[in-house]
């Protein structure tokens, strides 16, 4: 909804799905209520709405003058649905106008209109899904770790099994951000570093991330299933990035630097 307004694309009822799918579903059901066997004679027995709606912050608003006293009827239900959609889609207009005003100081507004909303989103934030191949191309390995090791292969297989939302959680877990850089130049010198997490019982350990250093300590899991389960638990339940500048993290960072120098 926000991106469309920034590039001047019209909003439609489908855009309600982006922030209130239940509202969109309810409006569709009301608009086509005849499909459920309701007709003009029975409409008032099942629908008790008036021309009001609630915005995302819970504020109740009238959809027309005196709307609280105007009942929704069989005849005006489509008008009501259109009015609700218009009110909900326009509730962030002031905020979007402020964003657009700020952007226009850097990029002329007429140029934004050259892009689709999806193109502008990607240029601004990157793609929503984490491309595993791109991440792998920007990965290096610490002392004693190589991409051919079994547990490292399990790690990449787990990332490919993840949903897009889970891959985004992983990136947040290991780097403190939800999306990859847009292009190669935006990566700079940044690379994910995979270090060994030594343990006599690796299957009982969880991976450890150091977001400030974009690094991951990976136990030598014995199976793909265990690797997937441990990694998924970690990215789901640990998103605190305030205490990762530890002595262990710095040692891993320095070890990786020394390893590169040796090469």
**Mind telling me the catalytic residues?**
212
Contact 241, 176 (CB under 8 A): yes
Q: Where are the alpha helices (DSSP H) in the chain?
A: 2-7, 21-31, 43-46, 77-89, 93-104, 109-112, 117-125, 132-137, 150-161, 164-175, 184-187, 224-237, 247-262
CA distances from 144 to 84, 130, 153 (A): 61, 27, 15
Closest alpha carbon to 210 in 238, 229, 189 = 238
Both tokens of 120, joined, read: 């502008």
């Amino acid at each position: 909804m926000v991106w469309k307004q920034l590039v001047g694309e019209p909003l439609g009822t489908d855009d309600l799905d982006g922030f209130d799918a239940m509202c969109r579903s309810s409006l569709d059901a009301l608009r086509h209520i005849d499909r459920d066997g309701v007709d003009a004679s029975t409409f008032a027995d099942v629908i008790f709405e008036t021309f009001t709606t609630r915005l995302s912050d819970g504020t109740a608003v009238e959809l027309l003058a005196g709307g609280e006293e105007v009942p929704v009827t069989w005849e005006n239900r489509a008008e009501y649905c259109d009015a609700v959609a218009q009110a909900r889609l326009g509730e962030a207009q002031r905020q979007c106008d402020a964003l657009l005003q700020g952007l226009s100081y850097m990029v002329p507004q007429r140029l934004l209109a050259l892009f689709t909303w999806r193109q502008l989103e990607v240029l601004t934030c990157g793609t929503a899904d984490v491309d595993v191949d791109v991440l792998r191309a920007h990965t290096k390995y610490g002392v004693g770790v190589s991409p051919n090791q079994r547990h490292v292969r399990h790690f990449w297989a787990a990332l490919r099994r993840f949903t897009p939302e889970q891959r985004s959680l992983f990136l947040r877990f290991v780097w403190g951000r939800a999306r990859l850089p847009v292009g190669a130049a935006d990566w700079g010198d940044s690379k994910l570093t995979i270090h060994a997490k030594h343990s006599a019982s690796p299957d009982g350990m969880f991976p450890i991330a150091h977001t400030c250093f974009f690094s991951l300590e990976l136990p030598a899991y014995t199976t793909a299933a265990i690797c997937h389960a441990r990694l998924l638990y970690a990215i789901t339940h640990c998103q605190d990035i305030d205490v990762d500048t530890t002595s262990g993290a710095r040692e891993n960072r320095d070890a990786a630097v020394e390893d590169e120098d040796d090469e």
